[in-house]
């Protein structure tokens, strides 16, 4: 609940103040102007006269009258009652305010509440002003059933338990948590520091803020508690602690008085400059426009939230009347800013109107005696002697039913408090708070109130699209990244292994210029790229560590907190993860065999048959014979080359067909049909020959590059020697595979790898080397295809960075590593250290079946060729039959005239046939041939 820093003492009596205020209203502002927004207004000429028939209703008011908020709120209550009875001159009740000054003290406020109930016999209490004062008054209200309505106790602690007789006609602090989280999300900040007032009011908002930030994947990394009455040196100590952190986003939840003092110290400490983000809650945001000039100078660039109240004719009229009355009442004319009303005065006005309405409605249902008696023997117990109000339940019910358009908007209670308001996002620039957007429960953040984005549109939009530009501290328009290198922050000690070989991953060299060491390598580049993607600063230094015998020693240094992390080619395995945490792997995983490639010439005698499958060979031979048969059938009747003895005809036809395989056939064909057959067949042969040549080349290459060993069991059966890298955990893998320790050799350098494999197991070398795939790939980039990789033989999780258990850096770095390895940056780093050729991922033996050609691949060609052969046979058959005189004389030889003659002489023909039958047989034949 906001306070003013000025501590003016309260007037001894509220009566003269009321009289003075009424006089000003009558003399200066008659006729009274209407109160817009749905609140009934006084008409011109209507006098607020109290008849003898009116019933006085006693209503208590508990305010800190020494503060600007208390003074302004009391005036707002008085103006509301004046306006209400001017608008309702026939009302039979009149609210009489009994004002008590709580003097900013919790005990005084409690005593004032007891005094109002017992002595003044009030039926309703308006107030108290602060959340801390309200905690006791809420229980008193529940016990005596006297409704207590507050327009300024925004703290969550006031209603953390079931207190139905306490009503809150203002925005609860927890309401704004979602709007603050949405603002943090749209700028992408992840780590937040909360600065809060060290009391129940300040602590009350923390659960809501923490939950809301967690929903947008942001976290509170530190909570700074500042007591309300805190000396400067204590605030400076806390500010220095904040400066030593890397987070630069701060949420401040304090009352205006303590907040003004805090920001004055922050400005003196140099924390109101570019790069910092200060977000203040609505208790400060509401009063930004009325704070003194010297106060807002220390708060330039802050962002705040405050309940939004739309400008209306009623607001404009109220503000003008309020300003004149306040100046006349409190003689304050030197600072125009401090005399303006805020949303608290609008809420107070609406509360007074709601109480006056409820009192009048309660009287109409038979309310006769407002107030109640207390026992005579109260004794020393001030609370237990108070009886329950007989009209309290009816008054509470009537107040809860209130539903009208007030100055601050729709006045209606939901679960004991007014509904969640729309928040305006403001940025303090110069002398006023500049609106940059709005937040509503249903639509989230938006630049304009009428065009609020819905759903995930806010998440996918940039801050510039959602809100108006913000002027940050230091008059900066650059959006702060939310973190910076902290002052005197701890520098992480990161251990890196000193490698003798495989320096692709980590290479430590002495730097004579700095008397230190320079560190480079694939692992180092990946780590630094991941750090650059973190949403906060990370200061670190590399410390070389000689762990040639085993990387477990390096991991133990992290476990015992000698190092804060370890960066290098450290393999993620289950046993190590029991003591430290690993990031996501940044290399491929697994253990494989490195073996010598050999030339395999055993199958070269019949390798020319392997390019085609058996089915394809059979289909080819069938079509060779079929094609030859078709060609012979077409050419035999007319082509002398295809005549002669049967053997000559067969050899000619099929020699011609086989010669087409090499395109060396003679031009001996005469018929068009046979030429079409040969053209189609030559196309099929062309495709087959070209495919056969390519497949045979691949098979010959694959045969020459067969690995010398394909299975670890083969090594065990032969009793061969195997090798592994010095200091590697692979030795345990070999023991698990049942290799004899005497058959295992330790190798350290790349040259030793190559020499041992070339020498072979029978001549003092090894038949295979077992190592992790990243190391084998780096070896192959230098030695090429003389060696081959077989496997993987065993599974691991690849290389990762080492951190202590529970380190918060692990999830952030893991996400960064995934983004790097899946993007172009990871490919560029890999290309830098492993040349242009990426490590091979083909760990299996060469598969000759994958390059062989099957019938399925050429089925379409054979179908087309077969249909062509059949079509040419049919066409040739039809052509041959149609040229025979006996079969086609009536259709192709005779003309139309001959057909007519045949019809006329049919009888003569029949007679000739009969005569021929009577002739001797030789004469019949002679006639037929002639």
Q: Would the pLDDT of 480 be above 80?
A: yes
CATH number of 55-170+312-365+386-418: 3.40.50.2300
CA distance 143 to 132: 19
**Tokens in use for 665?**
């056939």
Q: Would the pLDDT of 909 be above 60?
A: no
Q: Answer for the pair 540, 491: CB distance below 8 angstroms, yes or no.
A: yes
Distances (CA, A) of 306 to 135, 312, 432, 439, 515: 24, 18, 14, 10, 58
Q: Architecture of 492-587+801-835 per CATH?
A: 3-Layer(aba) Sandwich (3.40)
Query: Which comes out higher in pLDDT, residue 138 or 53?
Result: 138
- Fold equal for 55-170+312-365+386-418 and 492-587+801-835: no
Fold of 173-310+422-446: Rossmann fold (3.40.50)
Q: Is 835 helix (H, G, I), strand (E, B) or coil?
A: coil
| pLDDT band, very low/low/confident/very high, at 551 (cuts 50, 70, 90) | confident
Q: Would the pLDDT of 899 be above 70?
A: no
| pLDDT band, very low/low/confident/very high, at 58 (cuts 50, 70, 90) | very high
pTM of the model: 0.60
Fold of 607-702: Helix Hairpins (1.10.287)
User: Residue 370: is it exposed, middle or buried by C-beta count within 10 angstroms (0-12/13-18/19+)?
Assistant: buried
β-bridge mates for residue 595, sequence order: 788
Q: So what's the pLDDT on residue 736?
A: 84
Q: Would the pLDDT of 669 be above 70?
A: no
CA distance 125 to 169: 13
Q: Mean pLDDT, the chain, as a whole number?
A: 78
Q: So what's the pLDDT on residue 892?
A: 36
Pairing of strands 219-226, 249-253: unpaired
Q: Would the pLDDT of 778 be above 50?
A: yes
Fold of 594-599+705-796: D-Maltodextrin-Binding Protein; domain 2 (3.40.190)
CA distance 199 to 222: 17
Q: What is the DSSP string of 570-636?
A: EE--TTGGGTEEE---SS---EEEEEEEE---TT-TTGGGTTB-HHHHHHHHHHHHHHHHHHHHHHT
β-bridge mates for residue 597, sequence order: 707
- Per cent of the chain over pLDDT 90 is 27
Q: Would the pLDDT of 221 be above 70?
A: yes
Angle at 12 between CA 11 and CA 13, to 5 degrees: 90
- Alpha-helix residue ranges (DSSP H) falling in 401-467: 457-460, 463-466
Q: So what's the pLDDT on residue 375?
A: 52
Q: Residue ranges of the domains in the chain?
A: 55-170+312-365+386-418, 173-310+422-446, 492-587+801-835, 594-599+705-796, 607-702
CA distance 181 to 659: 83
DSSP secondary structure letter of residue 565: E
CA distance 7 to 248: 34
Among the ranges given (16-20, 172-176, 276-280, 662-666), the one the predictor scored with the smallest mean pLDDT: 16-20
Among the ranges given (20-24, 356-360, 491-495, 536-540), the one the predictor scored with the smallest mean pLDDT: 20-24
Q: Would the pLDDT of 303 be above 70?
A: yes
Among the ranges given (267-276, 424-433, 751-760, 880-889), the one the predictor scored with the smallest mean pLDDT: 880-889
Q: So what's the pLDDT on residue 14?
A: 37
Q: What is the DSSP string of 486-499?
A: PTTPPPEEEEEE--
Residue (of 886, 915, 907) closest to 923 by Cα position: 915
| pLDDT band, very low/low/confident/very high, at 797 (cuts 50, 70, 90) | confident
Q: Looking at residues 374-386, what average pLDDT do you find? A: 55
Q: Would the pLDDT of 767 be above 80?
A: yes
Q: Would the pLDDT of 27 be above 50?
A: no
Angle at 144 between CA 138 and CA 150, to 5 degrees: 35
- Per cent of the chain over pLDDT 70 is 75
| pLDDT band, very low/low/confident/very high, at 155 (cuts 50, 70, 90) | confident
Q: So what's the pLDDT on residue 780?
A: 83
Q: CB under 8 Å, gap of 24 or more: what pairs does 140-143 form?
A: 140/110, 140/113, 140/114, 140/383, 140/386, 141/165, 141/166, 142/166, 143/383, 143/386, 143/388
Return the residue matching tokens 């203002």: 170
Q: Would the pLDDT of 837 be above 80?
A: no
Pairing of strands 249-253, 191-197: parallel
**Tokens in use for 512?**
């004579």
Residue (of 140, 104, 109, 145) closest to 127 by Cα position: 109
């Amino acid at each position: 609940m906001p306070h003013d820093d000025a501590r003016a003492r309260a007037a001894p009596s509220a009566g003269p103040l009321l009289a003075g205020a009424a006089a000003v209203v009558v003399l200066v502002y008659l006729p009274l102007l209407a109160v817009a927004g749905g609140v009934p207004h006084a008409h011109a000429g209507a006098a607020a006269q109290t008849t003898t028939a009116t019933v006085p209703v006693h209503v208590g008011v508990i305010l800190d009258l020494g503060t600007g908020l208390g003074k302004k709120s009391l005036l707002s209550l008085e103006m509301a009652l004046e306006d209400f009875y001017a608008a309702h001159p026939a009302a039979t009740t009149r609210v009489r305010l009994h004002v008590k000054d709580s003097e900013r003290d919790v005990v005084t406020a409690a005593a004032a509440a007891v005094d109002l109930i017992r002595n003044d016999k009030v039926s309703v209490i308006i107030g108290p002003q602060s959340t801390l004062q309200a905690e006791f008054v809420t229980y008193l209200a529940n016990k005596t059933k006297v409704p207590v309505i507050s327009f300024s106790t925004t703290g969550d602690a006031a209603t953390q338990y079931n207190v139905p007789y306490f009503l809150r006609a203002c925005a609860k602090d927890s309401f704004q948590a979602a709007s603050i989280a949405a603002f943090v999300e749209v700028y992408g900040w992840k780590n937040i520091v909360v600065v809060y007032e060290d009391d129940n009011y300040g602590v009350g908002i923390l659960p809501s803020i923490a939950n809301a930030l967690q929903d947008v994947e942001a976290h509170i990394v530190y909570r700074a508690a500042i007591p309300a009455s805190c000396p400067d040196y204590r605030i400076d100590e806390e500010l220095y602690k904040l400066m030593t952190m890397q987070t630069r986003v701060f949420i401040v939840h304090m009352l205006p008085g303590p907040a003004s003092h805090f920001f004055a110290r922050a400005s003196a400490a140099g924390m109101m400059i570019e790069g910092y983000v200060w977000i203040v809650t609505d208790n400060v945001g509401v009063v930004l426009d009325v704070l003194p000039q010297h106060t807002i100078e220390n708060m330039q660039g802050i962002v705040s939230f405050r309940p939004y109240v739309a400008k209306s004719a009623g607001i404009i009229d109220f503000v003008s009347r309020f300003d004149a009355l306040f100046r006349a009442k409190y003689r304050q004319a030197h600072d125009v800013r401090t005399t303006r009303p805020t949303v608290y005065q609008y809420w107070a006005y609406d509360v007074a109107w709601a109480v006056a309405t409820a009192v009048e409605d309660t009287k109409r249902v038979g309310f006769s005696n407002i107030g109640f008696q207390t026992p005579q023997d109260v004794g020393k117990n001030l609370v237990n002697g108070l009886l329950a109000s007989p009209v309290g339940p009816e008054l509470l019910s009537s107040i809860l039913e209130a539903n009208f358009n007030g100055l601050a908007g729709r006045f209606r209670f939901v679960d004991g408090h007014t509904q969640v308001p729309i928040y305006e996002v403001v940025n303090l620039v110069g002398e006023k708070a500049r609106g940059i957007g709005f937040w509503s429960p249903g639509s989230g953040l938006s630049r304009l109130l009428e065009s609020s984005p819905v759903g995930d549109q806010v998440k996918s939009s940039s801050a510039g699209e959602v809100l108006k530009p913000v002027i940050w501290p230091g008059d900066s328009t650059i959006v702060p990244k939310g973190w910076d290198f902290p002052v005197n922050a701890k520098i992480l000690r990161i251990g890196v292994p000193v490698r003798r070989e495989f320096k692709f991953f980590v290479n430590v060299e002495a730097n004579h210029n700095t008397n230190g060491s320079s560190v480079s390598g694939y692992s180092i580049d990946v780590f630094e790229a991941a750090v650059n993607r973190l949403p906060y600063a990370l200061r670190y230094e590399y410390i070389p560590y000689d762990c040639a015998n085993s990387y477990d020693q390096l991991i133990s240094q992290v476990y015992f907190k000698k190092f804060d992390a370890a960066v290098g080619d450290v393999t993620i395995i289950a046993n190590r993860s029991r003591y430290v945490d690993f990031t996501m792997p940044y290399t491929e995983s697994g253990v494989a065999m490195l073996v010598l490639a050999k030339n395999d010439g055993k199958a070269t005698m019949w390798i020319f048959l392997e390019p085609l499958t058996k089915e394809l060979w059979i289909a080819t031979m069938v079509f060779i014979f079929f094609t030859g048969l078709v060609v012979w059938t077409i050419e035999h009747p007319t082509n002398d080359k295809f005549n002669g003895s049967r053997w000559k005809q067969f050899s000619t036809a099929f020699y011609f067909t086989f010669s087409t395989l090499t395109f060396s056939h003679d031009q001996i064909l005469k018929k068009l049909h046979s030429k079409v057959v040969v053209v189609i067949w030559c196309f099929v042969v062309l495709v087959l020959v070209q495919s056969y040549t390519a497949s045979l080349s691949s098979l010959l290459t694959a045969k020459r590059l067969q690995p010398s060993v394909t299975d670890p069991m083969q090594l065990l059966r032969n009793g061969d020697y195997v090798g592994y890298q010095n200091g590697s955990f692979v030795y345990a893998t070999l023991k698990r595979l049942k290799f004899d320790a005497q058959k295992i050799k330790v190798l350290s350098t790349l040259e030793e790898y190559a020499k041992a494999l070339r020498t072979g197991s029978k001549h003092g070398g090894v038949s295979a080397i077992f190592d992790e795939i990243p190391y084998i790939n780096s070896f192959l980039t230098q030695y090429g295809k003389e060696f081959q990789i077989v496997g993987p033989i065993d599974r691991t999780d690849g290389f990762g960075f080492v951190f202590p258990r529970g380190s918060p850096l692990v999830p952030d770095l893991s996400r960064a590593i995934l983004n790097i390895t899946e993007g172009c940056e990871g490919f560029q780093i890999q290309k830098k250290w492993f040349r242009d050729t990426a490590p091979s991922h083909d760990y299996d033996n060469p598969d000759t079946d994958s390059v062989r050609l099957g019938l399925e691949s050429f089925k379409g060609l054979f179908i087309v060729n077969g249909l062509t052969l059949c079509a040419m046979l049919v066409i040739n058959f039809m052509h041959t039959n149609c040229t025979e005189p006996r079969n086609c004389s009536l259709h192709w030889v005779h003309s139309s005239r001959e057909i007519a003659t045949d019809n006329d002489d049919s009888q003569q023909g029949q007679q000739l046939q009969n005569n021929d039958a009577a002739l001797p047989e030789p004469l019949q034949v002679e006639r037929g041939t002639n």
